[in-house]
Amino acid sequence: MSKKTSFLGLKLWVLICICVGAFIVIILCILSVWVTFRKRSKTSVERFSLSHIPNVSKDIKVDRVGTLTSHESLFQPVLEKSSDKNSDKTLVHLGETKSSDPDNNTQCSSVYHHERGLSSISWEEGSCGTVRKHSSLLHGGLMTASPLIGLPEISHLGWGHWFAFRDLEFSTNRFSADAVLGEGGYGVVYRGRLVNGTEVAVKKLFNNLGQAEKEFRVEVEAIGHFFHNCFALLGNIIVYYLLVFSSSSPTIWMLVYEYVNNGNLEQWLHGAMCQHGILTWEARMKVILGTAKALAYLHEAIEPKVVHRDIKSSNILIDNEFNAKVSDFGLAKLLGSGESHITTRVMGTFGYVAPEYANSGLLNEKSDIYSFGVLLLEAITGRDPVDYARPVNLVEWLKMMVGTSKAEEVVDPGLEVKPTTRVLKHTLLAALRCVDPDADKRPKMSQVVRMLEADEYPIHEARRNRKSRTASMEIEAMKEITGQTDPENMSRDPEGHISETTHA
Ligand SMILES: Nc1ncnc2c1ncn2[C@@H]1O[C@H](COP(=O)(O)OP(=O)(O)OP(=O)(O)O)[C@@H](O)[C@H]1O
């Protein structure tokens, strides 16, 4: 050890000490660089989460002056910083959540009527209620749907499909006026084309952080729920491709959906699409049946169920084959089975809101069923439920017409080929059951689907009816719903259906 070495004439033990010392210094340097690096990346994610997603795990509600207050946890987001150097965006990625079910009491209720283009808010003191929420959301890349094949790698972040903000900007020609599809209460919707040719609709939420954030969160919760439960059944529900917001200032929130290319039911019945012709009875019923199936799925096939809360004709998009796509889950509510919720504010669209929900804030799937009934009446009559020019609302008018044996006069006069009397009565009966003022008497959506399908396959259904229903039951149903008391006005058609007799 004390021997001199050829290296600077140093003794062997000195040389060994120098080597060990140098080795320790190098290790320490590497460690400190690694610790500093980790600390920095953690800080940047935390700084982002605090400034841009203030506690996204909270459900939110709008208080009396429209500001946001937090409620309870449903979904916990995981924030991921994009690795794209050129981009000015950060992506929000929804992660797995823990179950939470704290009870929640509310004090007062308000009524919020969101009309087309106009909003009016009135407040009512109301009752208290309890809500129990469940949550579950799964990682799993369920949204690697074929229309998105060939798009950038940035999409592989759990479920959902993610894009760079600048890609969306590019796809919509920088959100140009030409690309505008329409404007709703929460934002402007643009048509876009992704680099692989897929057409999308991009909703750029208004830069009112409160409302935008609210809509963003609620839609994310609802769609996360569908994706988790059953992607395959989404046929009649709008498909979301991705969720993205820009971290640029001011923050821009966006939701991106599959593009549905044939307008919406409101446009076909009362608006811009009328120039393409009058929607036939068959097309109307196809759209209505698709909507009914989507609601049956939301209410009965998944747990927790989803109450849409804003079923109306402008939220029913239509594709080339006249398939319905239920869209706009911005007001959706998740409820456990058999649960109701008494809300602090009633939200929905004037003309479609169920009476018990408007009066006391009581919310469950029956309020969607009422709105669906109004939608069905709208499709039958071609009348706009949101029409102040008319002295009585659509439901009351309809009941009055049916009650005075003028059922055949309610059909949209624009229809060239009218439905048969039997089909009309059957469809009216389904609609009137849905708008029954007693929520408990409204049928379940799956029953409504069966009633409507009976019109598509009447002979089949007639056989089933003969076996399972008695004539007196049907007479009772019609009498009860329309206020009709004279059994003489009921007749039996050749297939054995009981219907009301009309007098020309
Ligand atoms: N995925 C989509 N594909 C094609 N058009 C769409 C799509 N989503 C929305 N639109 C259209 O964009 C317009 C605005 O839609 P949006 O859902 O924001 O508002 P709305 O339903 O008309 O009103 P509200 O905000 O009161 O619900 C509508 O004309 C709608 O038909």
User: Cα–Cα distance between 100 and 132 in angstroms, integer?
Assistant: 9
- How much of the chain, in percent, has pLDDT values that exceed 90? 27
Task: Give the CA radius of gyration of the chain.
Answer: 29
15 CA from centroid of ligand 1 (Å): 77
Check the annotation: does 418 bind a ligand: no
What's the average model confidence in pLDDT over 418-427? 93
Taking the CA atoms of 155, 160, 166 and 170 in sequence, report the sign of the dihedral they define: positive
Burial 276-312 (b: 16+ CB within 10 A, else e): eebbebebbbbbbbbbbbbbbbbbeebebbbbbbbbb
CB 320 within 8 A of CB 326: no
pLDDT: which is higher, 323 or 342: 323
Is it the case that residue 480 has pLDDT exceeding 70?
no
CB 279 within 8 A of CB 414: no
Candidate from 84-88, 144-148, 174-178, 429-433 with smallest mean pLDDT: 84-88
CB-count exposure of residue 118 (10 Å: 0-12, 13-18, 19+): exposed
pLDDT higher at 387 or 146: 387
Q: Does residue 322 or residue 115 have the better pLDDT?
A: 322
User: SS3 of 87, please?
Assistant: coil
Beta-sheet pairing, 68-73 with 58-62? antiparallel
**Model confidence at 40: pLDDT above 70:** no
Quote the pLDDT of residue 244. Answer: 53
Burial class (CB in 10 A: 0-12, 13-18, 19+), 31: exposed
Confidence (pLDDT) at 415:
94
Long-range contacts of 55-63 (CB under 8 A, 24+ apart): 56/92, 56/217, 57/97, 59/133, 59/217, 59/221, 60/213, 60/214, 60/217, 61/344, 61/345, 62/210, 62/214, 62/345, 63/344
If one counts every other C-beta atom within 10 angstroms of the C-beta of residue 56, the result is 23
Phi, psi of 103 (to 5 degrees): -75, 155
pLDDT, residue 4, reads 75
Query: pLDDT at residue 375 above 60?
Result: yes
Best-predicted range by mean pLDDT among 14-28, 51-65, 106-120, 147-161?
14-28
Whether 117 shows a pLDDT value over 90: the answer reads no
Atom index in ligand 1 nearest the CA of residue 330 equals: 27
88, pLDDT greater than 80: no
Mean pLDDT confidence for 13-21 = 83
Tell me which residues are annotated as active site. Answer: 310
pLDDT at 427 over 60: yes
Nearest-CA neighbor of 430 among 461, 404, 466, 385?
A: 461
- With bands split at pLDDT 50, 70 and 90, how would you rate the model's confidence at 236? low
* Total residues belonging to the chain: 504
Closest alpha carbon to 373 in 403, 392, 346, 352: 352
Asked if 36 and 43 touch (Cβ cutoff 8 Å), the reply is no
Instruction: Say what percent of the chain tops pLDDT 70.
Output: 54
Q: Whose CA is nearest to atom 13 of ligand 1?
A: 182
| Nearest CA residue ID for atom 31, ligand 1 | 264
Give the distance (Å) from ligand 1 centre to CA of residue 270. Answer: 15
CA distance 251 to 15: 60
Residue 10 binned pLDDT confidence (cut-offs 50, 70, 90): confident
Q: What is the pLDDT of residue 129?
A: 24
pLDDT for 208 equals 65
Tokens of 276: 């393409």
- pTM, 2 dp: 0.64
Q: CA 353, CA 360: separation in Å to the nearest integer?
A: 12
Q: Please tell me the predicted confidence (pLDDT) of residue 418.
A: 94
**What average pLDDT does range 28-53 have in this prediction?**
52
203 CA: nearest ligand 1 atom:
18
201 contacts 59 by C-beta, under 8 angstroms: no
CA of 266 from ligand 1 middle (Å) equals 10
pLDDT value, residue 235 = 63
Q: Are strands 345-348 and 109-114 parallel, antiparallel or unpaired?
A: parallel
Pocket of ligand 1 (CB under 6 A): 114, 181-187, 189, 201, 203, 238, 257-260, 264, 310, 314-315, 317, 327-328
- Confidence check: pLDDT of 31 > 60: yes
Alpha-carbon 343 to chain mean position: 18
Phi, psi of 390 (to 5 degrees): -85, 140
Q: Is the confidence at residue 324, as pLDDT, over 80?
A: yes
Residue 352 alpha carbon to ligand 1 centre in Å: 17
Q: What value does the mean pLDDT of the chain take?
A: 66
Q: In testing the pocket of ligand 1, which one of 204, 206, 267, 327 has its CB within 8 Å of the most ligand atoms? A: 327
The atom number, within ligand 1, closest to the CA of 258 reads: 1
pLDDT (0 to 100) of residue 139: 24
Give me the interface pTM, i.e. the ipTM: 0.97
CA of 310 to the centre of ligand 1 (A): 12
Q: Which has more confidence, 205 or 68? A: 205
Cis amide leading into 443 (omega within 30): no
Q: Which of 237-246, 385-394, 427-436 has maximum average pLDDT? A: 427-436
pLDDT higher than threshold 90 for residue 170: no
Ligand 1 atom 28: residue of nearest CA: 182
At 465 the pLDDT is: 52
For residue 21, the model assigns a pLDDT of 86
